Amino acid sequence: MTGIVIKSAALIAFLLITSTDLAATVYRWVDENGEVHYSESLPPDFQDKTHDELDAMGIVREEGKSLKPPPPKPKVKKPDDPMELPRDSSGMERPKALYSEKEMQEQMDRFLMLRYDSEQEIQDAMNVEIKQLEYDRRLLQTSRDSLLASWRGQIAEAADRQRAGIDVETETSHEINSLKSRLASNQIMMDQLAVREEEIRKNFGAEIDRYRYLVETWTEES
């Protein structure tokens, strides 16, 4: 209780001293020991800490204030519009799409119906692309058979030399490793052809389904 009286007396004395300047700001702050202080300025280490501001009459104008500006609000990223084009390096806003998603689908449907007269034509177009893949696959398979035969021949020759107690020549080892690497590359290309064929069948299958739907819809409407 005595402490409160002393602190109140200190505040009154301070206010009487500063009464000549009614516009002066009085800061009320608490140090690390819990002591309450009143002053016309804040210590440097209290600039960023909360404090109260009082006017010369001892009336609290602001509580819990800090001289440190609040952190900027995080920018809310707007969801990307799937119809917008990617931004360029300058950061310019992406231009709006010329057509809506519905309009784009309508144009694609018209193009599909103009391009094909029947489901069989779509099937035939798919078979043409798959036939080209088969041609590429046969070339790769022929090359693979040749590489495999050479690789096995080199392996057999190296094994014969080892059984005879003769060191395998460095050139032979390099040739074996080269053939093995070419066989691995060949297999990668074969796998890529398989993936490509799956994509072709999937894309043409979707076109057949869409074509069938459009034919049925337009027939019902007519």
DSSP conformation letters of 75-97: PPPPPPPTTSPPP-TT-PPPPPP
User: Is the pLDDT at 93 greater than 90, yes or no?
Assistant: no
Could you list the residue range(s) of the whole structural domain that residue 56 is in? 2-65
Same domain, 38 and 105: no
Same domain, 119 and 217: yes
Residue 112 covered by a domain = yes
User: Is the pLDDT at 105 greater than 60, yes or no?
Assistant: yes
C-alpha 55/C-alpha 40 separation (Å) is 10
Same domain, 112 and 44: no
**Residue 143 carries which DSSP code?**
H
End-to-end CA distance of the chain: 96
How many domains are contained in the chain?
2
CA distances from 136 to 127, 158, 189, 192, 202 (A): 14, 33, 10, 11, 20
pLDDT band with cut points at 50, 70 and 90 for residue 3: very low
Same domain, 51 and 105: no
Q: Check: CB of residue 207 under 8 Å from CB of residue 121.
A: no
Same domain, 60 and 106: no
User: Which of 10, 43, 65 lies at the terminal end of a domain, its last residue?
Assistant: 65
What does the pLDDT look like over 10-66, one tens digit per residue? 444 444 444 444 456 776 767 777 777 677 777 777 666 676 676 655 666 666 666
Structure-token pair, residue 141? 């398979």
pLDDT given for residue 4 in this prediction? 43
Same domain, 207 and 155: yes
C-alpha 61/C-alpha 42 separation (Å) is 16
Residue 183 covered by a domain = yes
pLDDT given for residue 5 in this prediction? 41
Same domain, 107 and 214: yes
User: Which of 12, 43, 65 lies at the terminal end of a domain, its last residue?
Assistant: 65
